[in-house]
Structure 1
Amino acid sequence: MYRRWPLVRQIKLLVVRFLRLRGAPEEISKGLALGIFIGLTPTFGFQMLLAVCLAVMLKENKFAAVLGVWVTNPFTAPFIYALEYESGRVLLNMDYVHIPASLSFSALKSLGWEVLLPLGVGSLLWAALTAMTVYLAAIRIIPITQTWKIPRWPRRPRRRQKEGP
């Protein structure tokens, strides 16, 4: 039954495509770690473009970098950015940001560095730690997954149309 669900099928196809990646495990691991690093920085909206450009410049696996960027998606981004902001705020010994009573442009503009600085520091810390962890795990796991034989998704037989009278 779940095979008829397009989202489940797409997720399985992405996993299969990732497991079937060709290349050296180091290249794939570095691409994945690069994508995770970029995905955990506050560059929302430019992350995939940034990941592909850096993967091309560093000659790493582009598909693995794009997959790594998806660590931050609409479901996980609020939690990740909140953790990064709080970590940066604690490291920099800053107070909590107080939302102004009037939401004018000048009031929001004054909040800029009070939010961006702790978010940037926290994101660099978490991005570096997570990218190193993912690289070390992936460099050991990818050679194992490259030996797996993944069967094709079973196809339903096509229904034959009735011939005319």
Structure 2
Amino acid sequence: MPRRFLQRYMPNPETLRRQRSLRFMSQFIGDPGLWALSRRTVANAFSVGLFSAMLPIPFQMVVAACGAYLLRCNLPLSVGLVWITNPLTMPLIFYGNYRLGAWLMNTPVREAPTRISTRWIAERMADILPALALGSVVVAIVAAVLGNVAIRLVWRWHISRSWKQRAMKRRLQRLELED
């Protein structure tokens, strides 16, 4: 992945450290190892972020931040990827996770009512939770592994392409000098 492209969209750590609401985390945010952009740190950040995003738990961003700290990977990417499961996509993703879990457990799938309410979810939670948890963990692991492998492959492809372009540019310059 192009490092410059990622740096363009990343927040400035000093700006975040100065914010009043994040002052209690200033040492954590200021750790330069959590802002590094290398193939390893970005790929691991994708793993942490995708894994955290697929879990049906509150405070997914905190889980992603702790995972980034423990794995020494890029903090902003880990936390930002959690927003894959935003309020618009969350019901679809978690329903798919539930269906996968029900299939893996070989249990019948509870069909969603025409109008989902918190009351319906509370009444069915005991039936839904085991399948949702299993499906979410399976999807989280698969997404984390695939995300990590994909980023490493894209990063390697990008580096290889830029090396080939530079080699071609040097050859053309040599040919121009010879003429």
Is TM (by shorter chain) over 0.5?
yes
CA contact (8 A) 2:53 2:85 kept: yes
1:95 aligns with 2:87: no
Does the 8 A contact of 1:33 with 1:68 survive in 2? no
1:33 aligns with 2:47: yes
| Runs of 5+ unmatched residues, structure 2 | 11-34, 163-179
Partner of 2:97: 84
Structure 1 distance, partners of 2:82, 2:132, is 18
CA shift for structure 1 position 75:
1.8
Q: What's the offset of the Cα at 1:15?
A: 8.4
Q: Pick from 40, 62, 84 the counterpart of residue 71 of structure 1.
A: 84
**Per-residue CA distance 1:45-78 (angstroms, 9 max, x = gap):** 3111110012112211111111221221122111
Contact 1:32–1:67 (Cα < 8 Å) also in 2: no
How far off is 1:14 after superposition? 7.8
**1:115 paired residue among 128, 131, 148:** 128
Q: How far apart are residue 109 of structure 1 and its match?
A: 5.5
The one-letter code sitting in structure 1 at the alignment partner of 2:46 is L
Q: Are 1:54 and 2:46 an aligned pair? A: no
1:141 to partner: Cα distance = 1.9
- SS of alignment partner, residue 121 of structure 1: helix
Q: 1:135 to 1:98 in 2, by over 3 A?
A: closer
Higher share of residues assigned helix: 2
Q: Write the distance in 1 (CA, Å) between the matches of 2:93 and 2:36.
A: 31
Aligned to 2:174: none
Contact 1:36 1:68 in 2 (8 A): yes
- How high is the sequence identity, in percent, across the aligned residues? 25
- Large movers: runs of 4+ above 4 Å: 107-110
Structure 2: how far apart are the matches of 1:71 and 1:49? Answer: 15
Contact 1:26 1:139 in 2 (8 A): yes
Deviation, structure 1 residue 95: 2.3
Task: Write the distance in 2 (CA, Å) between the matches of 1:140 and 1:74.
Answer: 31
Distance 1:67 1:140 in 2: 21
Q: How many residues align?
A: 129
